Structure 1
């Protein structure tokens, strides 16, 4: 393991956003699911904000057909800004959508062959640097954000890291679960194995993988030669499992909340939860909820 003084910083992040979003049809027929709004920001914006907070400079979007709206969201909208400026509207609301020139890169995943394949499609841009991965469907809410917590841990131990969350034991069969080794701290645990959707009685822990990763570039070479796994797809979990024992591998227990915005109920839950935290909306939303629930 390299020392802290020579360890390469996490400057790049991969966002696999090529999925079709079929669970949200017909809403996603012409609009990428990542552009569906949680209140007044599209889902992808929350992931990008989290990346920037963690000091990530270059955003790599792995896209597919019909995903141009994601890239356009982070482009400069001259007509909109000119109109708003002419009407003395506050342009600061658009600040989060502005990306420095050259800091947004897109690559195309032509064939849907799984998460591992989507990550592998970014290999030329990632190069020989460690990099982060964000699954935007997994909305992580905390202060500091999930990736900032992970980068802080990476600066301590290096190697590969995944974010995990504790869930009730009866839920472990729905997720990828880690087999924990030595605990470095209350939130940092060595990973000795990864188990995909184990039976409750066979689960090595109740710590589930939760959609944020920091991986060394060697994972790309593993993905290069890896065959298809579960579902006939190239699985990122399989590639990570091969790296355990060859490189340091740790889990960071996220101090925050996770919303599964890949499901309709999770999407609604995230919207309500964030609305209840906003001073400009909270009272009205509570009143609406009481009225709807008949309280």
Structure 2
């Protein structure tokens, strides 16, 4: 049985790319079809064997807590109305313990992860970012957990991106490759030019608790924020950190175009919506069909 039972989900960002929609609503609560984006992340954690999740929130994020709380009036209404299929969806996240801590200042992703250090204690743990949804036969996080169980080493999930997009990501400079696993020479946060590769860190991590030693230094990096990638680089100097090219399709829901395309693709994969959307697109000449 895996030792990875705790996970951190940072959700304290301001969501400025989605303004004005996120002025009063957390970005993480924006829905893909009928489910908030953060629920996809929580479900991945549950399906990977995680038992305790701490969500790092910020000001104006109370809706996240309300979403994962019990709503007895709603549940009673659904049961009384015999809408048991909807009731099951409402209960899907109930088989995990969800905790919350507030990041008092938006000091960066590294600081958000550091804020959860007391919850984690001296255990290995997972981090899942909400800007990435991954569809795969084996949950993305479970793939990383299996590799951690095999090696005992911290590991980051990566996939290839076009070289002209590498400046948006933490990038892996690797020494060698064994299957989907890379031994890492260096981690580079958002390289402006001359990226060492196009292997980008994709928001799924397993860490040994020694990471907190470097996060505690609160060193500012790119964007004058405390970057998680910088502390991973420091950890890699004393304790090897692997990169794993996970299997599955990653959807970027952290920016507007990606969010729209993800919503459309998820709708086309759903039998409830597939036919009317295809008909709509066909009628307006958006498909290649004759």
Shorter chain as denominator, the TM-score bin is over 0.9
Q: After TM superposition, which residue ranges in structure 1, 4 or more long, deviate above 4 angstroms?
A: none
Aligned: 1:287 with 2:266: no
Match for 2:89 among 84, 88, 93? 93
Distance 1:228 1:245 in 2: 18
- Of residues 73, 82, 92, the one that matches 2:67 is 73
Matched, 1:140 2:140: no
Aligned partner (choices 10, 28, 31) of residue 25 of structure 2: 31
Count matched residues: 285
Where do 5+ consecutive residues of structure 2 fail to align?
Answer: none
Tell me the secondary structure at the aligned position of residue 244 of structure 1: helix
- Secondary structure (helix, strand or coil) at the match of 1:245 reads helix
TM (normalized to structure 1)? 0.92
**CA distance in structure 1 between the aligned counterparts of 2:203 and 2:283, rounded to whole angstroms:** 35
Return the alpha-carbon distance in structure 1 between the equivalents of residues 189 and 81 of structure 2.
Answer: 54
User: Is 2:106 the counterpart of 1:83?
Assistant: no
Offset of 1:131 from its aligned partner?
0.8
- What does residue 220 of structure 2 align with? 228
Q: Given the alignment, which residue of 175, 194, 203 partners 2:187?
A: 194
Question: What residue is the counterpart of 2:210 in the other structure?
Answer: 218
Sort the Cα spacing of 1:294 and 1:151 in 2 relative to 1 into closer, same or farther, 3 A. closer
CA distance in 2, matches of 1:174, 1:234: 16
> Are 1:266 and 2:258 counterparts?
yes
Cα deviations by residue, 1:249-285 (Å, 9 ceiling, x for unpaired):
1111121112221111000111111112122222222
TM-score norm. by structure 2 comes to 0.93
Give, in angstroms, the shift of residue 31 of structure 1.
1.1
**5+ long unaligned stretches in structure 1:** none
Greater CA drift, 38-47 or 81-90: 81-90
Q: What RMSD over aligned residues (CA atoms) do the two structures have, in Å?
A: 1.6
